[in-house]
Amino acid sequence: MKDKKILLVDILFPTKYSQWRICETTSFIQKKADIIVFKVDSFAGIKFGADFEEMSHQQGFEDYNIIIFDPKYNHLNKYNKKIDGTKWNGCFNASYIVTTEETFDLGKYDYVYHIFLMSYIRFNTCATFPPQKQAIHLYPGGGFTSVESAKQIHPATKVISTNIITTKVLESLGHSNFIECLGGTFFTHSDVQWTPKRSKKEITVAFASMGHAAEKGADIYKLIAKTYRENFADDNVKFCAIGNITPDDNITTHPIMPMSELNKFYYENVDIMISLDTGLAFNGWPLGIEAVLGGAVLMTTDPHSLNSAMAIPADALYIFDIKNTYDAVNFIRTMYLDREKLLHHAQAGWNYFSHVNSYNSQQQKIFDFIEA
């Protein structure tokens, strides 16, 4: 869409968290898109600021203007170099827009692209824009929780399904104007190459969560760490957790990190990533890809049996029953005792997920679809 003016709709931009969101929004900024934000300031006890200082140069929008609709965000005006963004207070029922323009006019846009159903609903509640000129990247959550919620999507709106369950929901509603693009955008044009980790005596197992502890399986991770310690106390295996988890004697905890720090942390420290889908919420699957791209082996649960349709190679991730923590413990022990096998699984995971989540497999495919 080189010659078309795109408006991207999001709830967090700009944010220093979540690799897929940073890569997806960056891909649109590379096309000179504007980003309008219906800001969510916190979720599951985590506060999300507007990270202009950290992200403007990294994502390439340092010369953009910020037109501020909600006075709550007037403090962002300090980042404006050419305009007084507060002059638009109250002019539109959104938080702000990060734009190449010096005025706000929806009529200038050829296309509107939404990250999450929530963005689509909020935008169309306060604006009139042709549904056939809109698209939704329909990730799980973010307002999309059921067939009923998907009924809010106009048949003419293009949809990108990221999950087999989502695809079945769209098909059940007779919504044919969609493509299936499993996974997410974890790369921009600057794709990276496989770099093996350095050899070390210990191995580190990690868990990360920016959601609710019960949904993300924090207590199950604690049980895995406890069981391992009880059975293999002399092994040099460390357990750590990032984000939403309460303190535990067997686990070193870390606060959430910006992606620039987290990617470095994964590469330098983490050998095995455990992602626990409890089935209590509709999430993307599998999660933990950032760690895999940092050279970690991915262990995960699959409560919705999604891999039966996705057919991810067996050595690219390890799936275990959430009720069988001994299975998880034994796999970790196997990786600890056989480092060649650990390296094999890590590289197999990287090979598979770096392809599935590459720019060409994700964002380029999406651009081809919405501009057709």
For residue 191, pLDDT over 90 is answered with no
The stretch 136-151 carries a mean pLDDT of 93
Question: Tell me: the pLDDT tens digits for 53-97?
Answer: 999 999 999 999 999 999 999 999 999 999 999 999 999 999 999
3-class secondary structure for the chain? CCCCCEEEEECCCCCCCCHHHHHHHHHHHCCCCEEEECCCCEECCEECCCCHHHHHHHHCCCCCEEEECCHHHHHHHHHCCCCCHHHHCCCCCCCEEEECCCCCCHHHCCEEEEECHHHHHHHHHHCCCCHHHEEEEECCECCECCHHHHCCCCCCCEEEECCHHHHHHHHHCCCCCEEECCCCCCCCCCCCCCCCCCCCCCEEEEEEECCCHHHHCHHHHHHHHHHHHHHCCCCCEEEEEEECCCCECCEEEECCCCHHHHHHHHHHHCCEEEECCCCCCCCCCCCCHHHHHCCCEEEECCCCCCHHHHCCCCCCCEECCCCCHHHHHHHHHHHHHCHHHHHHHHHHHHHHHHHHCCCCCCHHHHHHHHHC
Per the CB < 8 A criterion, the answer to whether 288 and 270 are in contact is no
For residue 106, pLDDT over 80 is answered with yes
Confidence band, pLDDT 50/70/90 cuts, at residue 308? confident
Question: Tell me: the pLDDT tens digits for 227-277?
Answer: 999 999 999 999 999 999 999 999 999 999 999 999 999 999 999 999 999
Looking at residue 198, its pLDDT comes to: 75
Question: Tell me: the pLDDT tens digits for 341-361?
Answer: 999 999 999 999 999 999 999
- Tell me which amino acid residue 289 is: I
Looking at residue 48, its pLDDT comes to: 93
* Cα angle: 263, vertex 17, 31; to 5 degrees: 95
Looking at residue 1, its pLDDT comes to: 43
**How far is 30 from 271, CA to CA, in rounded Å?**
33
The stretch 137-147 carries a mean pLDDT of 91
